[in-house]
């Protein structure tokens, strides 16, 4: 028996034992979805706070976490790589429960939230809010009044976010009027060591034989070379596109 066969048998044995353990102890397998609204919050306390809330709920309610998915996207953005990867994993391995801290961690924007909930409902997935303990999908499908309350909650979450954005914008404008400048988050390329990465992107993007390397292939090449991102995550197509578009290189 070769090493590959041994590893396959070992993996199947672990999977069988895990299934027996969960069945004997009435544990429900679940995925965890965490979201912060910007890549700058990845190193903050947002993920840790959400993870702690979800872990406590899982222990108390007999869920066993199979995998955790983390997105650093605004609540108004429907295209989330980790959320989409989670849905693909759900379709592949049979897990049908997702734990989130609260509904606004799925999305603040009402339309985006509705689209994502519909996507989960289509595949028969239970979405559990660990703050309320409710299966959001079931509540929305079975109780019209609860569905309305959830939508109202989403409206107020979106309103709260809009008010916060407005306050921050006015504060920046006031500071700029007072001092003539307003320091914000530095664009990629402005911190030490990042200029070389930008130059590498430019080099990869240049035309060769009448064609340009795609943003996706540039991201793959950066990951292959272990070029670090600002947050330590892997390079994504959208990140490369945004950087090069800002520099008018797209």
Res. 130: pLDDT tops 90: yes
* Per-residue pLDDT reduced to its tens digit, 180-206: 655 556 788 888 888 889 989 988 888
Q: Is the separation of the CB atoms in 230 and 194 below 8 Å?
A: yes
- Alpha-carbon span 235 to 127, nearest angstrom: 29
Average pLDDT over residues 94-122: 84
Q: Is the pTM of this model over 0.75?
A: no
How do the domains of the chain map onto residue ranges?
16-153, 194-246
CB atoms within 10 A of CB 161: 17
List beta partners, residue 71. Answer: 35
Average pLDDT over the chain, rounded to whole?
77
- Alpha-carbon span 229 to 173, nearest angstrom: 30
* Per-residue pLDDT reduced to its tens digit, 162-171: 666 667 677 6
**What's the maximum distance between 2 C-alpha atoms anywhere in the chain?**
75
pLDDT of residue 250: 42
Res. 249: pLDDT tops 50: no
Give the DSSP H/E element, type plus range, for residue 162: helix 144-179
Residue (of 138, 179, 129) closest to 157 by Cα position? 129
The CATH homologous superfamily to which domain 16-153 belongs is Resolvase, N-terminal catalytic domain (3.40.50.1390)
Q: Is the separation of the CB atoms in 93 and 79 below 8 Å?
A: no
């Amino acid at each position: 028996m070769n090493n590959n066969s041994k590893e396959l048998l070992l993996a199947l044995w672990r999977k069988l034992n895990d299934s027996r353990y969960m069945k004997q102890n009435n544990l429900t397998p679940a995925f965890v979805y965490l979201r912060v609204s910007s890549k700058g919050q990845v190193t903050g306390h947002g993920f840790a706070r959400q993870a702690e809330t979800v872990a406590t709920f899982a222990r108390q309610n007999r869920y066993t976490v199979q995998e955790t998915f983390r997105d650093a996207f605004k609540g108004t953005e429907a295209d989330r790589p980790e959320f989409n990867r989670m849905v693909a994993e759900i379709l592949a391995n049979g897990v049908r429960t997702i734990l989130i801290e609260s509904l606004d961690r799925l999305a603040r924007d009402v339309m985006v939230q509705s689209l994502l909930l519909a996507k989960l409902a289509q595949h028969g997935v239970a979405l559990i809010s660990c703050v309320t303990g409710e299966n959001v999908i079931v509540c929305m499908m079975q109780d019209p009044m609860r569905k309305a309350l959830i939508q109202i909650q989403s409206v107020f979450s979106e309103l709260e976010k809009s008010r916060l954005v407005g306050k921050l914008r006015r504060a920046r404008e006031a500071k700029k009027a007072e001092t003539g400048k307003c320091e914000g988050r530095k664009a990629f390329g402005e911190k030490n060591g990042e200029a070389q990465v930008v130059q590498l992107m430019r080099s990869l993007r240049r035309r060769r034989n009448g064609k340009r390397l795609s943003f996706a292939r540039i991201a793959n090449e950066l990951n292959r070379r272990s070029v670090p991102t600002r947050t330590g995550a892997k390079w994504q197509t959208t990140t490369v596109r945004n950087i090069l578009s800002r520099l008018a290189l797209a």
